[in-house]
Chains A and B, each alone.
Chain A
Amino acid sequence: MTDLLVHFILFIIAGAVLVAAPMLIGRLVRPNLPTPEKDAVYECGEPTIGSSYVQFDIRFYVVALLFIIFDVEVVFFFPWATVFGGVTQLADTRLTEAARTNLSDKLLNLEPGTTTAETAIAASDALRIAWTGFADILVFFGVLLVGFAYVWRRGDLDWVRAMVNQAKIARAQGRKNSQNEPRVDSQLAS
């Protein structure tokens, strides 16, 4: 306990000192010669134009969200692809024994030379894993695609969704008006 506590306190002290010391040294050593260029906000060397506190269009968030969804999906795909690639190679019945043990080691993440002929993954087993994996990813990707199609259909991917909607409404109203027009005329006539 005391051991842990001392470590903890030492850690905090060391952390605080290591941050404070360079700032203090800088403060004592640096000359104070302010110029407008030095006071300016650093933006990768570009001259600044206006304040950075601007409102972002909400549509950026939609794009960012969609990006994250597909990004995360790719993260899921990587481990799947490694295993799937490995087992499709192993599913080949024409593999030599050496190649099979070698690939099995790689797939099971073992030291090279650990698997023997008995413990190596057989072609039929590899095929089963491959088909199961294929079915898994099909369900996963299928559900994701349904969501994607839904978003697309609802018009959330249109950059100017509001205007698309307005255009649709205007078109629908235009059609309705053209149907209504004769009746309006007749009413007016009567």
Chain B
Amino acid sequence: MSVHSILNHVLGEDLPRSLEVFAPELVLCATVVLLLLWRMLDLHQRIPTCWVALFGSLVAFFGVFAQFMYLKTGGAGVGGLEFLFDQWRLTPSGVGEIGPYFTGLLVHDQFAVFFRLVLTLFLVLVTALTILTGIPDAEDGQDFYTLLIGSTVGMLMAVGANHLLMLFLSIEMMSVPSYVMVAFQKGRKQAGEASLKYVVYGAGIAGVMLYGISLIAGLLGTANMPELGERFAILMQGEFFSMSNTTALTLVLGMMMVLVGLAFKLSLVPFHFWCPDAFEGASAEVCGFLSVASKAAALALLVRFVLAFQGTHESLAQLGILFGIALGTISIITMTFGNLAAYSQTNLKRLLAYSTIAHAGYMVMAVSAMLVILNSPSSSVGVGQAATCIEGLMYYVAVYLFMNLSAFAIVALLRNETFREDISSYRGIISGSAATKVLCVCLAISFFSLVGMPPFGGFFAKMMIFYSALQAGHAHWFLWIVLGFGALNTVFSLFYYLNVLKAAFISEPEADAAPVEVPGMAGAYVLLVTIPILALGMSSLQGDLTATAKYVAASLFQ
């Protein structure tokens, strides 16, 4: 290809399309620059920086929403949607066409857009929460939101990563700002300690992951993810997949090292040590952000990474089964450990950190089931069942967003009143003001949903993931064991959640404690993020989200 035609392709076709798809991220980048300028020109005295951040993230959210609807409707939106499409100048050859962009570094498809939608929605909700709780004060707002938005941009790139370099870059881009966010409460010794632990751990893991990437790229001669499986199949031509084969061994080693990096972001056991400490030191708002957003992004990245090694060759199938079972084992250990360790916690943030670890275990179960199904030689399961796994995973992520945000928002709002975060400070808070009562009820809803009680969204999410593991059991018996542990863990987890609820609803308040008076706005906000949990459990919205997840999952395996 001559320079002229490459230039015409890159500047004429690839760049406009890439910028069109990437527009929401560019809006967020512009917001970051605007925030700094805002503070520099002292405009924050008239309009606080938090409103600039909220505005920027809302615009980005609507940008991704427009893209999602454009893909779903095929560009035939009516009314408000048409207006949105026009505003973002969406074209059939740009957003309307799925495939790689930015010369193959990122990929644009329904799966990526769904996760970007979840992440930008979450960014909006977290920004609103920080405005309510006032965690970054007026002087430091721009610093905090710069980090928050910067980290989110990294996550938005992670869900569309199509190249091993982007995988590494996006993980670092979402990690580095979160190290600083953990330490954001200046002068708190705990926060500094938590951040240091997180940084040291993260730096080590980044090195391991980079080494893994270099092994994979060196072995296969490319870092472009869609080509990895194909290249491996060529290398394995006429050879037998076993651990005594050097090629296979090197690839397994490289993949394991990359998975270590992803497991760190997902806080899977044994790479979870940072999680409780970081959560204890950070403010509850930041914990909410770390527990939902970085997990959703890492999960999408995990799915993308393991799907890069799919193909028709025999060795790829064996590789897939191997990693499916490995992830299943990690899932068992993670959920069991997370739930058991949560028992002895007295600090609510630490408790929720272990609950986050356990939930990461449930979510990885779906990925493990997908891998086993896709690579199974039996004909009873196929691509349709693999899509069910991804469907369950996406439903889980969507519900998990609201459950965890609601729980952490309540912790943050009550901290503003009582200045404490231990479980004993929750004793008898139900006797407080009306807004406090709302908070208590919402806490109960979000906790019951986290356990997976029937009428709430969490139940359906868990059921879909367990169902996918049940299906995968037909392909390999090991997934039935994973499923058994998952079911047992659901029972385990009931007790420590109930322990908190018992303190809030049944226990007598501490003798010298004043009744907790939460402002009305706080109650309204928590209600706003809790209603979706109910709606996703017992309204038509449940069917809608299932249908959307099904459509996105099916498009991933086309």
* A interface residues with partner B (beta carbon < 8 Å): 1-4, 104, 108, 118-119, 121-122, 125, 128-129, 132, 143, 146-147, 149-150, 153-154
Query: Judging by beta carbons under 8 Å apart, are B37 and A108 in contact?
Result: no
Query: Judging by beta carbons under 8 Å apart, are A129 and B7 in contact?
Result: yes
Asked if B521 is at the interface (CB within 8 A of a chain A CB), the reply is no
Query: Judging by beta carbons under 8 Å apart, are A132 and B3 in contact?
Result: no
Asked if B344 is at the interface (CB within 8 A of a chain A CB), the reply is no
A/B interface sample: 6 pairs, CB < 8 A: A1-B244, A3-B246, A4-B249, A118-B2, A119-B3, A150-B39
Q: Contacts of B37 on A, CB cut-off 8 Å? A: 146, 150
Closest 4 CB pairs of A and B: A1-B244, A150-B36, A153-B40, A121-B3
Asked if B511 is at the interface (CB within 8 A of a chain A CB), the reply is no
Q: Tell me which of A4, A108, A143 contacts B246 (CB under 8 A).
A: A4
Instruction: Tell me, rounded to whole Å, the shortest Cβ–Cβ distance linking A45 to chain B.
Output: 35
Asked if B498 is at the interface (CB within 8 A of a chain A CB), the reply is no
Q: How far is the CA of A147 from the CA of B2 in the complex (A)?
A: 39
Q: Tell me which of A1, A122, A132 contacts B243 (CB under 8 A).
A: A1
B1-45 vs A: 1/0 string, CB under 8 Å? 011100100010000000000000000010001001101100000
Query: Judging by beta carbons under 8 Å apart, are A108 and B3 in contact?
Result: yes
Q: How far is the CA of A128 from the CA of B7 in the complex (A)?
A: 8
Additional A-B contact list (4), CB under 8 Å, known A125-B3, A129-B7, A143-B29: A1-B243, A121-B3, A146-B36, A150-B39
Instruction: Tell me, rounded to whole Å, the shortest Cβ–Cβ distance linking A146 to chain B.
Output: 5
Asked if B245 is at the interface (CB within 8 A of a chain A CB), the reply is yes
The dominant DSSP class at the B interface is helix
Q: How far is the CA of A153 from the CA of B139 in the complex (A)?
A: 13
Q: Contacts of A154 on B, CB cut-off 8 Å? A: 39
| A1-B36 in contact given A125-B4, A125-B7 (Cβ < 8 Å) | no
Q: Tell me which of A1, A3, A122 contacts B4 (CB under 8 A).
A: A122
Q: How far is the CA of A128 from the CA of B12 in the complex (A)?
A: 11
Query: Judging by beta carbons under 8 Å apart, are A119 and B11 in contact?
Result: no
Instruction: Tell me, rounded to whole Å, the shortest Cβ–Cβ distance linking A127 to chain B.
Output: 11
Q: How far is the CA of A6 from the CA of B7 in the complex (A)?
A: 50
Q: How far is the CA of A150 from the CA of B140 in the complex (A)?
A: 12
Number of A-B contacts (CB under 8 A): 39
Q: Contacts of B3 on A, CB cut-off 8 Å? A: 104, 108, 119, 121, 125
Q: How far is the CA of A149 from the CA of B36 in the complex (A)?
A: 9
Q: How far is the CA of A12 from the CA of B3 in the complex (A)?
A: 49
The dominant DSSP class at the A interface is helix
Q: How far is the CA of A104 from the CA of B246 in the complex (A)?
A: 41
| A146-B33 in contact given A1-B244, A132-B11 (Cβ < 8 Å) | yes
Query: Judging by beta carbons under 8 Å apart, are A119 and B2 in contact?
Result: yes
Q: Contacts of B36 on A, CB cut-off 8 Å? A: 146-147, 149-150
Q: Contacts of B246 on A, CB cut-off 8 Å? A: 1, 3-4
| A1-B245 in contact given A125-B3, A128-B11, A132-B11 (Cβ < 8 Å) | yes
| A149-B40 in contact given A1-B243, A1-B244, A1-B245 (Cβ < 8 Å) | yes
Q: How far is the CA of A2 from the CA of B244 in the complex (A)?
A: 8
For residue A3, which residue of chain B has the nearest CB?
A: B246
Q: How far is the CA of A171 from the CA of B246 in the complex (A)?
A: 72
Q: How far is the CA of A150 from the CA of B36 in the complex (A)?
A: 6
For residue A131, which residue of chain B has the nearest CB?
A: B11
For residue A152, which residue of chain B has the nearest CB?
A: B40
Q: Contacts of A146 on B, CB cut-off 8 Å? A: 33, 36-37
Q: Contacts of B29 on A, CB cut-off 8 Å? A: 143
Instruction: Tell me, rounded to whole Å, the shortest Cβ–Cβ distance linking A165 to chain B.
Output: 12
Q: How far is the CA of A128 from the CA of B3 in the complex (A)?
A: 11
Q: How far is the CA of A176 from the CA of B243 in the complex (A)?
A: 78
Q: How far is the CA of A133 from the CA of B3 in the complex (A)?
A: 15
For residue A122, which residue of chain B has the nearest CB?
A: B4
Q: Contacts of B245 on A, CB cut-off 8 Å? A: 1
Q: How far is the CA of A118 from the CA of B245 in the complex (A)?
A: 47
Query: Judging by beta carbons under 8 Å apart, are B33 and A143 in contact?
Result: yes
Q: Contacts of A128 on B, CB cut-off 8 Å? A: 7, 11
Q: How far is the CA of A177 from the CA of B437 in the complex (A)?
A: 47
Q: Contacts of B33 on A, CB cut-off 8 Å? A: 143, 146
Which of A108, A119, A125 has the largest number of chain B CB atoms within 10 A? A125
Instruction: Tell me, rounded to whole Å, the shortest Cβ–Cβ distance linking A91 to chain B.
Output: 13
For residue A126, which residue of chain B has the nearest CB?
A: B3
For residue B248, which residue of chain A has the nearest CB?
A: A1
Q: Tell me which of B40, B243, B244, B249 contacts A150 (CB under 8 A).
A: B40
Q: Contacts of B40 on A, CB cut-off 8 Å? A: 149-150, 153
For residue B245, which residue of chain A has the nearest CB?
A: A1
Q: Contacts of A4 on B, CB cut-off 8 Å? A: 246, 249
Within 8 A of A (CB), among B234-253: 243-246, 249
Q: How far is the CA of A134 from the CA of B306 in the complex (A)?
A: 38
Q: Contacts of A1 on B, CB cut-off 8 Å? A: 243-246, 249
Q: How far is the CA of A146 from the CA of B3 in the complex (A)?
A: 35
B40-64 vs A: 1/0 string, CB under 8 Å? 1000000000000000000000000
Q: How far is the CA of A149 from the CA of B37 in the complex (A)?
A: 9
Q: Contacts of A122 on B, CB cut-off 8 Å? A: 4
For residue B10, which residue of chain A has the nearest CB?
A: A132
Q: Contacts of A119 on B, CB cut-off 8 Å? A: 2-3
Q: How far is the CA of A143 from the CA of B245 in the complex (A)?
A: 49
Q: How far is the CA of A79 from the CA of B487 in the complex (A)?
A: 56
Q: Contacts of A104 on B, CB cut-off 8 Å? A: 3
Q: How far is the CA of A2 from the CA of B29 in the complex (A)?
A: 52
Instruction: Tell me, rounded to whole Å, the shortest Cβ–Cβ distance linking B246 to chain A.
Output: 6
Q: Contacts of B243 on A, CB cut-off 8 Å? A: 1
Q: Contacts of A118 on B, CB cut-off 8 Å? A: 2
Instruction: Tell me, rounded to whole Å, the shortest Cβ–Cβ distance linking A151 to chain B.
Output: 9
For residue B3, which residue of chain A has the nearest CB?
A: A121
B159-180 vs A: 1/0 string, CB under 8 Å? 0000000000000000000000
Instruction: Tell me, rounded to whole Å, the shortest Cβ–Cβ distance linking B169 to chain A.
Output: 14
For residue A5, which residue of chain B has the nearest CB?
A: B244
Q: How far is the CA of A187 from the CA of B40 in the complex (A)?
A: 40
Instruction: Tell me, rounded to whole Å, the shortest Cβ–Cβ distance linking B148 to chain A.
Output: 16
Instruction: Tell me, rounded to whole Å, the shortest Cβ–Cβ distance linking A66 to chain B.
Output: 15
For residue B250, which residue of chain A has the nearest CB?
A: A4
